Amino acid sequence: MIGNGKKKRRRRVSTATIIRLIDVVMILLFGFIAISEISKKSQIQLPKSEAVPETAPDREQVVYVGVLPEGRFLVEEETAVIEDVTTLATYLQQQRRMLAQRNRRMRVRVRANYNAPVKYAFVVVNICQELKIPVGLDVIKKAGR
């Protein structure tokens, strides 16, 4: 109790009142921004684009070799089939020579079919290692395994 015997009650401010107050303040803020004058105008100089020289990764060409279950190989964007290992080795040598004439390094990427035995993929890896061509295997993990 306070001096004269009356209780002082706290009055709660409703959430709706606060939201309305925030709305009014935001409207006033954006209104002042909209009517304010820009005191200093400046000219922005945009950068000019220029040709970028070819970088080292761009000078590398990836040759994809697909491996089929029967031991055959797909080359030329999977449009040509090579039947045996010696023909594949000759093909890879020709590709490396052709790319070297254009100042490009060659890298081989082996993509084995899901049901192709791994030994055929490693035949391609061994050929590339003998020819000193960087090689990599694409491995795709099947769901649930």
Q: Is residue 109 part of a domain?
A: yes
Contact 139, 110 (CB under 8 A): no
Q: Is residue 2 part of a domain?
A: no
Instruction: Give per-residue pLDDT as tens, 70-105.
Output: 989 999 988 899 999 999 999 999 999 999 998 888
Q: Is residue 44 part of a domain?
A: no
Q: How many C-beta neighbours within 10 Å does residue 132 have?
A: 8
pTM flag (> 0.75): no
Residue 78 belongs to what domain range? 56-138
60-67 and 105-112 beta bridge pairing: parallel
Q: Is residue 45 part of a domain?
A: no
Q: In this structure, what CATH number is given to the domain that contains residue 77?
A: 3.30.420
Instruction: Give per-residue pLDDT as tens, 13-70.
Output: 688 888 999 999 999 999 888 888 777 777 888 888 888 776 656 678 899 999 999 9
Burial of 92 (0-12, 13-18, 19+ CB in 10 A): buried
Q: Is residue 40 part of a domain?
A: no
Number of domains in the chain: 1
